[in-house]
Structure 1
């Protein structure tokens, strides 16, 4: 079950669950990095607080993105990039509220809105944001490939 399994504006709760799941997982990774590398809280309760401080806003941002995008698609009746701009902006707003800073929220909302528009454009036009690259060097069968710069003459 992923975000792109259903058309935009349909099956909103499944889309919200998919975005919340992945953004919450990202929040756990960010929280673990923060706890181990920066804040280094002493004790269980401060550690749990550090996890909640990072994980909940990121999961909420994912849920807000999916909810606003799906709701604006259903309400406007159009499936275009403006819905993703609104969703990305709302996700950035959630992060700004969690940081309690207008200076954080506005740039993050702008960045996430632009990233969402780029993602929607990639879905519409069939290009990949991060294309799949097949690596041959370092694989198990690297002896089967010729990596010389110039082929030998025969």
Structure 2
């Protein structure tokens, strides 16, 4: 189950595995936000305070991911259609969890709509083969790329003899 990807099986199948996958990413995102909050803003005292602040972010993030996944997949099973409406409903469910977390309907309704639209964009991208996060590994240096010269301008050949003093004579002539 650790190597399972969300789109390994069709929509509406293996819902538990899909919840696990989305919750895994939500946990990592929540931990990132929580650590940022702990280090930059809240500065809790002690282990219990730190774990509490981390849980404040991880819990709702996992809840949003689970709400999206379960809603989108159950909607697909109930409706019998694999379309963008299922993802919109999942996004609305995730936005509702966000609004409940913030204890504000003023934040929850726009969040539900925005996450629903974001889910439609994701579904469209999956259907049309869009690449949201390209695999960019060209920036890393390896044994082959270390031999390449990536300077903006190459050395001018006539100035390569500076150590012998010939360049001064060439400039004076």
**TM-score if structure 1 supplies the norm length?**
0.86
Paired residue for 2:126? 123
Residues 71-112 of structure 1: per-residue CA shift (max 9 Å, x gap): 000000000001001101111110110111122212222221
Distance 1:41 1:142, change over 3 A: same
Paired residue for 1:152? none
More displaced stretch, 138-147 vs 22-31:
138-147
**In the TM superposition, what are the counterparts of 1:5-154 in structure 2 within 5 Å?**
5-136=8-139, 139-140=141-142, 141-143=144-146
Unpaired stretches in structure 1, ≥5 consecutive residues: 150-154
Distance (Å, rounded) in 2 between the aligned partners of 1:143 and 1:53? 45
Give me the CA root mean square deviation. Answer: 2.0
Cα deviation for residue 66 of structure 1 reads 0.4
Runs of 4+ in 1 over 4 A off after TM superposition: 143-149
Higher relative contact order, structure no. (Cα contacts within 8 Å, ≥ 6 residues apart): 1
Cα deviation for residue 51 of structure 1 reads 1.4
Cα deviation for residue 31 of structure 1 reads 0.8
Which is greater in Rg? 2
Unpaired stretches in structure 2, ≥5 consecutive residues: 153-173
**TM-score if structure 2 supplies the norm length?**
0.77
Distance (Å, rounded) in 2 between the aligned partners of 1:134 and 1:55? 30
Size of the alignment, in residue pairs? 149
